[in-house]
Structure 1
Amino acid sequence: MDATTPGPLAPEVLDRDDLKRALAEHDFAAVFSLVKKWGGLSQNRIAAACRLTPGKVSTIISGQQQVTSFEVICRIADGLRIPGRMVGLADCPWERRTETPDPYPQQPPAARLSVDAPWRSTATVHLAADLTRSDLVMDRRAATRALTGAALFGTPLLDSLEGWLQPSPAVAKGHHRGRISIREVRELEGTARVFRAWDHRFGGGLRRKAVVGQLNEVSSHLEDHQAPDVERGLFQVMAYLGGTAATIAWDSGLQQQAQSYYLLALRAAHAAGDSAFGANVLAGMARQMLYQERPQDALELVHLAQKGTGPKAGPRLRALLHTREAWAYAAMDRTAAFKRATSEAEEALADAGADDEPYWIAYFDEAELTGTTGGRLLEMARKGARERAEEAADSIRRAVERRGPEAGRSYALDTIGLAECHFLIGDVNGAVDHTQRAVEAAARTQSARVRAQLGKLYPYTVGRNTSQRVADARTMIRDLLST
């Protein structure tokens, strides 16, 4: 249903006590039956309005299938124009809609970084300027449209990254003399570290514009003729900021923007001669591919990172790349390869010292490794290998104990995973306890990824025979996801 059309249910239908009760209890078999009887809507019309198949509606009405997905509940509320409060949600988007016209109806989302641009430092500076300028003027409507932008996959992306393996060609210098000093470069690097630490803990996009603005400032300095050490330092800062901007965009669901900033960060690392951070960027791109269910693309990116760094990669970076490799193998149901790559990650991390690697990889410790490994075991358990659920729970529990709540986003993700493990094992009381902690941890972050993972717990809490504790956990999840 178009958001501008009136709701298909008359006010007197929504005022019926039996419909109100069915909505409050999420009994959508009764809801659809009452809508057919009193609202005059056919089964096909209900399906079209709620973006469901007629067969799906039929199985719901017959009681053969319950609605447990939070996303489907939102689609039903939007499609039938049921006020959010009647199903325990916040106000639906159409309830908040105003008649103010969009002053920028054709405004595109943030510019996409061209994958065909040459691997020269001057091209990287121009691309950074264009990308950040368009992003800084993007308003909320354009940001909403950017959520639908798709990342680039497959051969076009992978072929475009081959230039990362080649040395950066020398280029002619500009005419304007730069006035920035190496001390100021170090100050910019300190700012980049602060942004990265904040994002790693809290997630979300509240400071995205600040990161993009700083990135734009760095690109403007690089348009001038700088001393070689200053230029190298500025490109390194650009790489750090680009990586953080990519993570923030990805964590906010802006897939196309995230990929554009990842590509910019990789080009900046190439210009700075920092192959280690470039490999870290490729690891981030691989993670994005894994969340997009593109494990083969992710594996290619990891292998590209490993080839590009070679012996220059420190133990923590090697461990990170092996975990991305293991993640891809797990997604491809290659259990033996998953175990091998995980063992290689553990061996690499065992060689890590306290201060022998850059600050941006210091977070990758034993807790990160066990948490990531537990997450992959949980994915296997979801596919039917339920015996993996206890193994996953043990691994994630170790990560939770080592991190603590101060880890923010990572702690929230681990706790959500632990709750799901207990649901799969059949330990309902333990699952509810961890769900409550997960909701509390999720409320302290701004991460869309955390909320998406929390939504995966919702189906476990829905059923005709659920206890009051499980129902209370369901309410907690619903209340948080509705805000």
Structure 2
Amino acid sequence: MLQSQDLHATVAGLVDDVRFQDACARREMGQLFRMLNHRGHSTRQLAAAVQITQGRLYDYMNGKSRVEKITVFEQIADALHIPGHLLGLARRPWEPLPAASRQVAPPPSGSDLEAMDAFRNADRQAGGGRLYAAVVSHLREQVSRRLLDAHMDQSVFAAAAAMTEMAGWMAHDSGRDDLAARHFAKAMPLAQASGDALLAANIAASNSHLALQAGRPDEAVTWARNGFELLDHCPRLPSLVARLHAMTARALAAAGQQQAAERALGMAQDSIHGPAQDVHPWVSPFDCAALASELALTVRDLGQYDRALQWAEEAVSLREEGRTRSRALSRVAVVDLHAHRSDLDAVVHCGYELLATSPTLSSVRFVNQLAELRETLNTHRAYRPVRDFLAQFDEAVRARRLLLADLLSPQSGGQAHEADT
């Protein structure tokens, strides 16, 4: 029988394999176990190593169930010697500490929060496409260099985690979900190293969103549950609790679980109202406008278009002028819902409002949603006002694509660099 050190050696030989990294990033333990089984490790040995029954292992490998609890991910990582960051975990106790490059750690920069706020404000107005490189540069030049000595101040880990997560969102806004997933995978162990459970739970919510965008609702639910587990270790932040419930509701709706989705939706609404001063400097803001947007998408997936339209219109009305991208995405939802309700005059009226979105918004995600909306509207082109509108719509989208040509091109290398965190 192969010994445990041989199992560790097999894992060590796989850590640079893209398929292995992808399985870890998506927390697909069944795929990971299959890879190890194909390399000569028996199911009996694997089950014994990670201290589960062979029956449970078969369920994971056959896709009948998924690992959901953080403690089980930690158990698997420690048994197989999978580096913690690959599974979005903190550095494991058996992993070697990095060698410190200096004897004395410099104090964490007091400008990190100011930089975070500046990037957030710019992102809300102009989109993340043009900002991604700047955030990655700040991470590399101002934050990452302090991480080796950050055991003296955990706030450096928090800054690195929050900005790495922000880089992930900007990559997502640039249409690079693969890159976003890698940033989120790096952000989680940094947050855990900082000891900030709220920040880690916030990153779990971001992973839930990304899994949902990729069409993996089961994984999205798992990430949301992981977020709630993290909140068990700290005071709860109402807006973050609401966000996790909203992610759960959306995932359940996408999976067709209406009653469970409705329950989660109700809990999100109940949770959003908390003390005005109840904020966290590193956690992404989530307000009533953001919740209305998520609820609109949830009930849309449940086929309740009238109700979804009410939430989408509320999201537009609540979103202030400075939040250009959020308002634009909500306007896309409004037009789409009018189309699903076959209210074509409203489609045209709201569609022209949508076209007034600032042309400087550098969001590939917005352009992609416009393309999806175009497919929906094309089914109504027999109606002359819709047909006339589509002519202007197409011209506006062409102009946006020209402005974002470097971001939309798969050959665009300038936006694809990651921070060395």
TM-score (norm: length of structure 2): 0.71
For residues 168 and 465 of structure 1, what CA distance do their matches in structure 2 show?
58
What is the aligned counterpart of 1:412 among 319, 328, 332?
328
What SS is found at the alignment partner of 1:293? Answer: coil
Q: Where does residue 347 of structure 1 map in the other structure? A: 270
Q: Where does residue 220 of structure 1 map in the other structure? A: 145
For residues 23 and 284 of structure 2, what CA distance do their matches in structure 1 show?
31
Aligned positions of 1:332-371 closer than 5 A:
332-350=255-273, 352-361=274-283, 363-371=285-293
What SS is found at the alignment partner of 2:302? Answer: helix
Shift in alpha-carbon separation, 1:405–1:433, aligned structure 2, 3 A: farther
Among the aligned pairs, what percent are the same residue? Answer: 24
Higher RCO, 1 vs 2 (CA within 8 Å, ≥6 residues apart): 2
2:221 corresponds to 1:305: no
What is the aligned counterpart of 2:123 among 194, 199, 207?
199
Shift in alpha-carbon separation, 1:312–1:401, aligned structure 2, 3 A: same
Deviation readout 1:9-44 (Å, 9 max, x if unpaired): xxxxxxxxxxxxxxxxxxxxxxxxxxxxxxxxxxxx
Q: Where does residue 319 of structure 2 map in the other structure? A: 403
The CA deviation at 1:480 is 2.9
What SS is found at the alignment partner of 1:454? Answer: helix
What SS is found at the alignment partner of 2:263? Answer: helix
Aligned residues of 1:208 and 1:248 also touching (Cα < 8 A): yes
Shift in alpha-carbon separation, 1:464–1:413, aligned structure 2, 3 A: closer
The CA deviation at 1:429 is 1.1
For residues 284 and 168 of structure 1, what CA distance do their matches in structure 2 show?
23
Aligned residues of 1:165 and 1:308 also touching (Cα < 8 A): no
What SS is found at the alignment partner of 2:322? Answer: helix
For residues 129 and 243 of structure 2, what CA distance do their matches in structure 1 show?
24
- How many residues were matched structurally? 327
TM-score (norm: length of structure 1): 0.62
What amino acid sits opposite 1:272 in the alignment?
S
Q: Where does residue 317 of structure 1 map in the other structure? A: 240
What SS is found at the alignment partner of 2:215? Answer: coil
Shift in alpha-carbon separation, 1:425–1:463, aligned structure 2, 3 A: closer
Shift in alpha-carbon separation, 1:297–1:379, aligned structure 2, 3 A: same
2:397 corresponds to 1:471: no
Shift in alpha-carbon separation, 1:404–1:188, aligned structure 2, 3 A: closer
Give the number of the structure whose alpha-carbon radius of gyration is greater.
1
Deviation readout 1:211-252 (Å, 9 max, x if unpaired): 1111112222223x35722xx121111011101110011111
The CA deviation at 1:347 is 1.2
What is the aligned counterpart of 1:481 among 383, 397, 400?
397
Aligned residues of 1:168 and 1:271 also touching (Cα < 8 A): no
Aligned positions of 1:352-391 closer than 5 A:
352-361=274-283, 363-381=285-303, 388-391=304-307
Aligned residues of 1:374 and 1:395 also touching (Cα < 8 A): yes
Aligned positions of 1:132-151 closer than 5 A:
none
Q: Where does residue 177 of structure 1 map in the other structure? A: 103
The CA deviation at 1:166 is 7.1
Q: Structure 1: where are the runs of 5+ without partners?
A: 1-115, 118-126, 131-148, 382-387
The CA deviation at 1:167 is 8.7
| RMSD of aligned residue pairs (Cα, Å) | 2.9
Shift in alpha-carbon separation, 1:172–1:428, aligned structure 2, 3 A: closer
Deviation readout 1:368-423 (Å, 9 max, x if unpaired): 11111012222333xxxxxx111111111111111144211110111111111111
Aligned residues of 1:283 and 1:305 also touching (Cα < 8 A): yes
Deviation readout 1:166-200 (Å, 9 max, x if unpaired): 79759587251345224xx2212321222133223
What is the aligned counterpart of 1:187 among 111, 124, 127?
111
What is the aligned counterpart of 1:450 among 366, 384, 393?
366
Q: Where does residue 208 of structure 1 map in the other structure? A: 132
Shift in alpha-carbon separation, 1:438–1:178, aligned structure 2, 3 A: farther
Aligned residues of 1:246 and 1:257 also touching (Cα < 8 A): yes
Q: Structure 2: where are the runs of 5+ without partners?
A: 1-10, 17-21, 33-65, 75-87, 402-421
Deviation readout 1:248-284 (Å, 9 max, x if unpaired): 1111121221111101111110111111111111111
